[in-house]
């Protein structure tokens, strides 16, 4: 096994990182044979043969995850016509499992707190269908802009709104109907500006206003910046005050989100494809940007804050999935343990569907770990919680 590990171009810094975190490098030994995964856009199942011809490979159904197919690791998805035409998505099966753990059902109001670039967000929207809504949040504007492009490409944005915001402090609950708004203007008879249908083609006046909003957002870094909303995301017709209306924590128990996904920022060590990108960018960059001990300490603080805030925004009886593509205990089980200590209303749940998934238990019972050797997927940690009704 050791010999096989050596064949991989794993930089010393990464091997040291694995060692310091008690991770066995042999889980990366089969990386070259780990398949890629795609998911068919719902409705494109009948085009399977056409997609296979286009991709010049057989699509093997993933029997444990509906809608997912594996393809050989050498096939490049982005070059295919099927991908350009929005018939397939590139998404690892372990990522699909994290979303599947949420048990999305029609009508759910979902929060995706670290949404960009949006692979999981698109899956949530596909599962949601015509009812419910999704709020996507990410702190990185350029990454969330890429997510918006993805929603447009797959024509998925109708029920979605996207905010550039810090997920550790984001406080907006799902949009409720405001029976006393929309029809009437302010009590003083002033004309209140209301959100019109979102369009990427904007007039000069609207572009100027958007630039002003961005400047304001830069001056008020705590304020979420809305960069996209679909026709049926509940935003059209609201005033800014209504959109940015926040409620106290006790009210969130009744009007919070039904489901929350916290796919937290991490060191990405479970995704060897991500690590291998640094072969081109330079291993020093990997050490500085990803593995630096001080940075990883800060990351675990960030992860706990994201998880705690995501949980705060959940209604009583709602469900949250926490996932990372790191396999270190510090970013996963330790975060979960600390979170459970601090949140008496959080219950760690067994993930029912996982009985048929090719993964291992995490170091805390009920948590899950996917890795290339056990699962033939990228590495991923998944934990699911329920917010208890007090």
> Which range touches ligand SAM (CB under 6 A), out of 53-61, 75-83, 111-119, 269-277?
111-119
Q: Rule CB under 6 A: is residue 308 a binding residue for ligand SAM? A: no
Question: Residue 96: enclosing H or E segment and its boundaries?
Answer: helix 93-100
Q: Rule CB under 6 A: is residue 139 a binding residue for ligand SAM? A: yes
Residue 47, CA atoms < 13 Å, CB-side half-sphere: 16
Q: Rule CB under 6 A: is residue 102 a binding residue for ligand SAM? A: no
Which of 96, 118, 318, 358 binds ligand SAM (CB under 6 A)? It is 118
Answer yes or no: is 166 a known binding residue.
yes
> Which range touches ligand SAM (CB under 6 A), out of 110-118, 207-215, 331-339, 354-362?
110-118
54 vs 259, beta carbon nearer ligand SAM: 259
Q: Rule CB under 6 A: is residue 120 a binding residue for ligand SAM? A: yes
Tokens linked to 297: 């300490």
Which of 96, 117, 358, 372 binds ligand SAM (CB under 6 A)? It is 117
Site for ligand SAM in 235-254 (CB under 6 A): none
As a whole number of angstroms, the distance between CA 121 and CA 89 comes to 12
Tokens linked to 128: 């949601």
> Which range touches ligand SAM (CB under 6 A), out of 47-55, 108-116, 185-193, 352-360?
108-116
Residue 69, CA atoms < 13 Å, CB-side half-sphere: 23
Answer yes or no: is 138 a known binding residue.
yes
Cβ 122 to ligand SAM shortest distance, Å: 8
- Residue in 335, 268, 345 with CA at minimum distance from that of residue 300: 335
> Which range touches ligand SAM (CB under 6 A), out of 9-17, 116-124, 187-195, 227-235?
116-124
Answer yes or no: is 126 a known binding residue.
no
- Residue in 348, 356, 388 with CA at minimum distance from that of residue 375: 356
What are the φ and ψ backbone dihedral angles of 109, each rounded to 5 degrees? Answer: -105, 115
Q: Rule CB under 6 A: is residue 141 a binding residue for ligand SAM? A: no
Residues that bind ligand SAM (rule: CB under 6 A) add up to a total of 19
29 vs 117, beta carbon nearer ligand SAM: 117
Where b means 16+ CB within 10 Å and e means fewer, 311-324 reads bebbbeebbbbbbb
Q: Rule CB under 6 A: is residue 119 a binding residue for ligand SAM? A: yes
Active-site annotation holder among 114, 122, 325, 359 = 325
- Find the farthest-apart pair of alpha carbons in the chain and give their distance in angstroms, rounded: 77
E-strand stretches of the chain: 36-40, 60-61, 68-71, 88-90, 109-112, 133-138, 160-164, 225-229, 257-263, 314-324, 346-349, 360-361, 368-370, 380-387
> Which range touches ligand SAM (CB under 6 A), out of 9-17, 162-170, 340-348, 350-358?
162-170
As a whole number of angstroms, the distance between CA 99 and CA 262 comes to 10
Residue 325 known to be catalytic? yes
Which of 149, 168, 338, 345 binds ligand SAM (CB under 6 A)? It is 168
140 vs 316, beta carbon nearer ligand SAM: 140
- CA–centroid distance for 357 within its chain: 20
27 vs 94, beta carbon nearer ligand SAM: 94
Tokens linked to 273: 């494809």
What are the φ and ψ backbone dihedral angles of 23, each rounded to 5 degrees? Answer: -100, 140
Tokens linked to 302: 């960030």
Give the single-character DSSP code of 298.
H
Which of 23, 97, 115, 260 binds ligand SAM (CB under 6 A)? It is 115
Residue with tokens 């009948």: 46
As a whole number of angstroms, the distance between CA 330 and CA 222 comes to 28
Tokens linked to 175: 């949009």
Q: Rule CB under 6 A: is residue 96 a binding residue for ligand SAM? A: no
Cβ 132 to ligand SAM shortest distance, Å: 18
Q: Rule CB under 6 A: is residue 138 a binding residue for ligand SAM? A: yes
Residue with tokens 């296979």: 52
86 vs 237, beta carbon nearer ligand SAM: 86
Check whether the bond before 84 is cis (ω within 30° of 0): no
88 vs 139, beta carbon nearer ligand SAM: 139
Q: Rule CB under 6 A: is residue 270 a binding residue for ligand SAM? A: no
Active site (catalytic) residues: 325
Q: List, as residue ranges, the binding site for S-adenosyl-L-methionine.
A: 138, 166, 263
Query: Which residues make up the interface to ligand SAM (CB under 6 A)?
Result: 95, 114-120, 137-140, 143, 166-168, 263, 265, 302
């Amino acid at each position: 096994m050791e010999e096989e590990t050596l064949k991989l171009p794993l930089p010393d810094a990464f091997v040291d990182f694995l060692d310091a975190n008690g991770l066995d490098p042999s889980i990366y030994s089969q990386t070259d044979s780990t398949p890629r995964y795609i998911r068919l856009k719902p409705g494109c199942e009948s085009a399977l043969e056409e997609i296979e011809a286009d991709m010049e490979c057989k699509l093997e159904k993933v029997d444990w995850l509906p809608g997912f197919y594996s393809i050989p690791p050498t096939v490049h998805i982005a070059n295919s016509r099927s991908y350009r035409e929005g018939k397939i998505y590139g998404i690892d099966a372990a990522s699909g499992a994290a979303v599947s753990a949420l048990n999305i059902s029609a009508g759910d109001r979902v929060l995706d707190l670290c949404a960009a670039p949006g692979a999981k967000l698109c899956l949530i929207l596909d599962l949601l269908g015509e009812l419910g809504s999704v709020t996507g949040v990410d702190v990185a504007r350029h990454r969330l802009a890429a997510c918006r492009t993805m929603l447009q490409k797959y024509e998925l944005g109708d029920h979605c709104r996207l905010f550039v915001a810090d997920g550790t402090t984001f406080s907006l609950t799902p949009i409720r109907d405001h029976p006393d708004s929309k029809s009437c203007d302010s009590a003083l008879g002033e004309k209140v500006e209301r959100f019109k249908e979102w369009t990427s083609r904007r007039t000069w006046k609207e572009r100027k206003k958007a630039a002003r909003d961005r400047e304001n957002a830069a001056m008020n870094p705590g304020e979420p910046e809305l960069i996209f909303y679909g026709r049926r995301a509940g935003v059209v017709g609201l005033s800014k005050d209504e959109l940015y209306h926040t409620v106290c924590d006790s009210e969130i128990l009744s009007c919070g989100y039904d489901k929350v996904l916290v796919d937290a920022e991490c060191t990405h060590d479970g995704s060897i494809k991500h690590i291998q990108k640094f072969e081109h960018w330079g291993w020093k960059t990997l050490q500085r940007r990803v593995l630096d001990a001080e940075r990883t300490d800060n990351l675990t603080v960030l992860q706990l804050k994201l998880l705690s805030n995501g949980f705060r925004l959940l209604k009583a009886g709602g469900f949250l999935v926490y996932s990372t593509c790191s396999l270190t205990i510090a970013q996963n089980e330790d975060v979960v343990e600390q979170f459970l200590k601090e949140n008496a209303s959080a219950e760690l749940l067994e993930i029912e569907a996982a009985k048929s998934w090719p993964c291992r238990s995490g170091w805390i019972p009920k948590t899950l770990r996917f890795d290339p050797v056990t699962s033939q997927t990228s590495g991923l940690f998944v934990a699911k919680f329920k917010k208890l009704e007090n």
